[in-house]
Structure 1
Amino acid sequence: MSKNFKMVATTMFGLEEVLATELKNLGAQDVKPGVRNVSFSGDKGFMYKANIALRTAIRILKPIKTFKVFDEEDLYNGLQKINWENHMTADSTFAIGAVVNSKFFTSNSHYISLKSKDSIADYFRHKYHKRPNVDLKHPDVKIHIHIQKDLCTVSLDSSGDSLHKRGYRTSTNIAPINEVLAAGLVLLSGYDGSSNFIDPMCGSGTILIEAAMIACNIPANINRPEFGFEKWEDYDEDLYYIIQDSLLKKIINPHHKIMGFDKAPSAVRKAKENIESANLTEFIGVHHVNFFNSIKEVFGPTTILFNPPYGERLNIDTEEFYKKIGDTLKHGYPGCKVWFITSDIQALKYVGLRTSKRIPLKNGDLDCRFVRYDMYEGSKKISKQE
């Protein structure tokens, strides 16, 4: 029987609690949120399950060694003490990623990766007179070095490529939203498929696809061509397909509408291509509509969630643009819960509506706010009395 071991799922700033909830719901043990990561325990089958199903994880790491480091020599020597033949052979290809946050290391992450590569290659050369080759694009084993203050944690990256690469996105617009962030926004909004869902500025359709996968309970990474663990020496293909089949059996059909608008015909076309690639065409409708000329046409409770242009993507009058968002919501979308993300935090005052929630997030290097507006039928005063 497979034994439990510690793992770490990395994520984006602001999504740690969302990821922790995902892990608990999936059956993880010892779940502890950190900064941009969540640690947990599970067995090999759960590692496969986490990679296939988690929506807000970027990587699933399996730590294999932790040791103290104060300089590059400590790093080199510490890596030499790991029994690397338990994880790879001299004929394997490998790649190393590094994250460094320590006053003891003035060198950058790239240099730390090179120093680590030299140590592992020398380990095999001294012991077996042959060294494994580096393959940055498609390695057999991906190794993750994390140095925090005086502590180095060496992990195997079970995901391979970042888990935001779902495998469904074939077409993109300028600055498309990251799939992990898109899923995080949908989960933060509380949307679970029990209401209508509208993305009124849908671009290439990422938010729509992530919302539909949540509504249908489709595993986030079911469309990926492969995971890193599939090349490991202990990969259990039968177990992998048992886990995958058990997740596929839990898929359901949504009972509410999921739809997107965009004023650009090219965006509508790209969204439809991506939705088809994700096998979700029957669940999502995309329409060539300018949000500012639209009104709510669906019956029942509705969640509106979007990623309007901001930062480098916004080449128009900020005050006018955000005022039009507020006016359109007020006059066209009564009774809706509205969420959107922006890095232009000052521009929110032009919306002319009071936020009921403001959640700090990061979109790449941009500091953002994910805000909620509750649109009442009639006046707010009358709605509260009712």
Structure 2
Amino acid sequence: MNHDFKMVATTLFGLEEVLATELKNLGAQKVTIGVRSVSFFGDKGFMYKANLALRTAIRILKPIKSFKVFDEDDLYKKLQEINWERIMNVDTTFSIGAVVNSKHFTTNSHYISLKSKDAIADYFRHKYHKRPNVDTKHPDVKIHVHIQKDYCTVSLDSSGMSLHKRGYRTATNIAPINEVLAAGLVLLSGYTGDCNFIDPMCGSGTILIEAAMIANNIPANINRVEFAFEKWEDYDEDLFYTIQDSLLKKAKESHFKIMGFDKAPSAVRKANDNIKNANLSEFIGVHHVNFFNSVKEVFGKTTILFNPPYGERLSIDVKEFYKKIGDTLKHGYPDSTVWFITSDMEALKHVGLRTSKRIPLKNADLDCRFVRYDMYEGSKKAKKRAPETKEDL
């Protein structure tokens, strides 16, 4: 009989509440929101389910020990007090990842990883005169050391490679959006597959793919080759495939259009390659179209969501570019809810539309805003499209 234990799902800044909602909907217990993380309780089967299904999680950690720690030598000593035979043996390969946020530690995370590795290796060497080997690429066990102020938490990483590596993206453009962030944007927009969806600057198609998986309730990581827990001694293959089959049986079929545009033929080719890899070609259409020359050709309510070039990627006139976004939306896309993410707050002033929502997010190291514009038809246009003022920003 499986027993519930504590786990921690890490995520990106601004997606904590979205991840908590995902966990609750999956059936997690005792869900608690942290900083870039959400803790919860579940059994082994739920750990498998979380890795397969969560769209906004970076990795799923299983804490094995927490203790107070004051310096590197104290960390080394406390790590050697853990009964590592319960987790691995001298023939097990392992790797260490570390995150440090403490005034007691003046060294960087890489040094803490090395110190932790030495502590575990020496534990076995002292007992068995043999030490397990480190494998940074495909370890049997991946260990995560997190030091926050006075406390250290040692966890097993059940995911392995970051969960944003879904397995479908083989072709990318410059600075492609992270899959977890893309899924988070779609979920924050409220899109569920109940209307048309357009990404008018789709690049390599990541937002389109995440939107299609959400619309059809397809598990986010169904295309992954492996998870770290598959190498654990207590891995239950039958249980894993039972969980996977159960999730796939809940897939549905959305009958609304999901479309992407890009002015670059190479981007269209890359997007179609990735969509094919994700087995979603029947749900997504990608077209060689310049958004600024386009109009809405689908009937009914439409969600428009995109990641326009910004920051270092934008080598054109920012004012003119963002003004053209606003003009194209005003004249070509009535009855649409429009969302896009940008790190250029000044550029938003040139869109010429009033935002109805602004959500702070991070894209890599960039502070961003995920903004919403409501495009109405008829008499509401003039009232709702008053230009933004500096105070609105």
How far apart, CA to CA, are the structure 2 residues paired with 1:362 and 1:331?
A: 31
Q: Is the 8 A contact 1:23 1:31 kept in 2?
A: yes
SS of 1:133 mapped into structure 2: coil
Amino acid at match of 1:126: H
Give 1:127 shift.
Answer: 1.0
Counterpart-to-counterpart distance in 2, 1:210 and 1:379: 35
Query: Could you say which residue in structure 2 is the equivalent of 1:9?
Result: 9
For 1:251, the aligned partner's letter is: A
- Number of the residue aligned with 1:238: 238
What is the alpha-carbon distance in structure 2 between the residues aligned to residue 98 and residue 339 of structure 1? Answer: 35
Structure 1 residue 142 and structure 2 residue 129: aligned? no
Residue matched to 1:340: 340
Contact 1:376–1:383 (Cα < 8 Å) also in 2: no
Name the SS of the counterpart of 2:124 in structure 1: helix
What does residue 50 of structure 1 align with?
50
Asked whether the 8 Å contact 1:96–1:116 carries over to 2, the reply is yes
Give the residue type in structure 2 aligned to 1:71: D
CA distance in 1, matches of 2:339, 2:6: 35
The alpha-carbon distance between structure 1 residues 35 and 93, as it changes in their structure 2 partners (threshold 3 A), is same
Shift of 1:254: 0.7
1:332 maps to amino acid: G
- How does 1:1-386 map onto structure 2 within 5 Å? 1-380=1-380
| Partner Cα distance (1:377, 1:68) in 2 | 60
Which string of whole-angstrom CA distances, capped at 9 and with x for unpartnered residues, describes residues 144-196 of structure 1? 00000000000000000000000000100000000000000000000000000
The Cα of 1:382 is off from its aligned counterpart by 8.0
Distance in 2 between residues matched to 1:22 and 1:382, nearest whole Å: 38
Cα deviation for residue 345 of structure 1 reads: 1.1
Aligned partner letter, 2:27: G
Letter of the structure 1 residue corresponding to residue 234 of structure 2: D
Deviation for aligned residue 1:379: 3.4
Distance 1:237 1:226 in 2: 12
Q: Which amino acid aligns with 2:359?
A: I
Q: Which amino acid aligns with 2:291?
A: F
Q: Which amino acid aligns with 2:186?
A: V
**For the Cα contact (< 8 Å) 1:377–1:383, is it kept in 2?**
no
Task: Give CA-to-partner distance per residue, 1:10-39, whole Å, 9 cap, x none.
Answer: 000000000000000000000011110000
Letter paired with 2:222: I
State the TM-score, normalized to the length of structure 1: 0.99
Separation of aligned partners in 2, 1:184 and 1:381:
29
- Partner letter of residue 63 of structure 2? P
Alpha-carbon distance between aligned partners in 1 of 2:254 and 2:99, rounded to the nearest angstrom: 41
Aligned residues: CA RMSD = 0.9
Structure 1 residue 383: Cα displacement? 8.4
Aligned-partner Cα distance in 1 for 2:378–2:177: 34
Report if the CA contact (8 A) 1:200-1:262 is conserved: yes
Distance 2:48 2:211 in 1: 23
1:134 alignment partner, SS class: coil
Counterpart amino acid of 1:329? L
Mind listing any 5+ residue stretches in structure 2 that lack a counterpart?
385-393
For the Cα contact (< 8 Å) 2:57–2:163, is it kept in 1?
Answer: yes
The equivalent of 2:387 in structure 1 is: none
TM-score of the superposition, structure 2-length normalised? 0.97
Deviation, structure 1 residue 118: 0.3
Gap runs ≥5 in structure 1: none
Measured in 2, the distance between the counterparts of 1:377 and 1:309 equals: 28
- The C-alpha deviation readout for 1:297-336, integer Å capped at 9, x for no partner, is 0011100000000011100000000000000000000110
| Secondary structure of the corresponding residue to residue 40 of structure 1 | strand
Does structure 2 retain, via aligned residues, the 8 Å contact 1:9–1:38?
yes
